[in-house]
């Protein structure tokens, strides 16, 4: 194995670690999308990195092109520096994945709360009171991330219910009774 091949292997491994949290499957999936559907097998990439497969000029350029790596970056000496790309944003980093997961949970919880509050008239008031008590007990502010959104959603349901009650009273239909 030549010094150039060794450097390419090291740089490819570094790039995948820096931009895909070491996940070769994610790298291959993105490279396949960028490579006009031409499949890139994770076992091939693993073999290239480990030295079990050759890593010649043509393969290096194709990986750079499909992986959005700057041309000839794999050939360079990058010891001590982070991997650079030509404007590509990493698909998955642990921080980005965690942030996406938290956002998904926020959306799911907020949707569930709204559905339940709308299903049971008058329940928003009790929900707000319970949520306030729990926040005070656990020393969380009422505007803390998801909690702020839940308070806002519950108050929105309260406003909608209050307006519906006012409209019914004006129409002479009487107000709703709380369960």
DSSP string, 30-85: HHHHHTTT----HHHHHHHHHTSS---HHHHHHHHHHTTBPTTGGGS--TTS---B
pLDDT of the residue at 7: 92
Domain coordinates of the chain in residue numbers?
Answer: 3-75, 94-170
Cβ–Cβ under 8 Å, residues 110 and 153: yes
- Determine the Cα–Cα distance for residues 132 and 140; give it in Å rounded to an integer: 9
Token pair for residue 154? 């519950």
pLDDT of the residue at 152: 84
- Determine the Cα–Cα distance for residues 14 and 176; give it in Å rounded to an integer: 64
pLDDT of the residue at 34: 67
| pTM, entire model | 0.46
pLDDT of the residue at 90: 55
pLDDT of the residue at 8: 92
Tell whether the torsion through CA atoms of 87, 82, 47 and 23 is positive or negative: negative
Angle at 63 between CA 57 and CA 64, to 5 degrees: 90
* Tally of residues, the chain: 179
pLDDT of the residue at 153: 85
Rounded mean pLDDT for each run of 10 residues along the chain, 179 residues in total: 90 88 85 70 90 91 86 83 52 63 80 86 87 82 76 87 89 61
Token pair for residue 53? 């497969």
pLDDT of the residue at 83: 47
Cβ–Cβ under 8 Å, residues 140 and 101: no
pLDDT of the residue at 46: 92
CA distances for 95 relative to 100, 132, 172, angstroms: 9, 30, 56
pLDDT of the residue at 38: 67
Cβ–Cβ under 8 Å, residues 8 and 75: yes
pLDDT of the residue at 25: 87
Please name every residue paired with 85 in a beta bridge, in sequence order, or none if there are none. Answer: 69
């Amino acid at each position: 194995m030549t010094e150039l091949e060794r450097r390419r292997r090291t740089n490819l491994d570094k790039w995948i670690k820096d931009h895909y949290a070491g996940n070769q499957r994610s790298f291959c999936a993105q490279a396949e999308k960028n490579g006009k559907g031409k499949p890139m097998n994770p076992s091939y990439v693993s073999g290239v990195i480990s030295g079990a497969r050759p890593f010649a000029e043509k393969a290096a350029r194709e990986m750079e092109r499909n992986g959005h790596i700057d041309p000839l970056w794999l050939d360079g000496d990058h010891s001590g520096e982070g991997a650079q790309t030509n404007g590509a944003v990493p698909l998955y980093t642990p921080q980005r994945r965690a942030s996406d997961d938290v956002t998904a949970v926020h959306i799911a919880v907020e949707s569930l709360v709204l559905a339940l509050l709308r299903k049971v008239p008058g329940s928003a008031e009790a929900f707000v009171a319970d949520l306030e008590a729990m926040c005070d007990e656990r020393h969380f502010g009422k505007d803390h991330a998801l909690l702020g959104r839940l308070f806002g959603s519950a108050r929105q349901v309260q406003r909608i219910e209050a307006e519906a009650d006012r409209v019914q009273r004006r129409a002479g239909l009487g107000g709703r009774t709380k369960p």
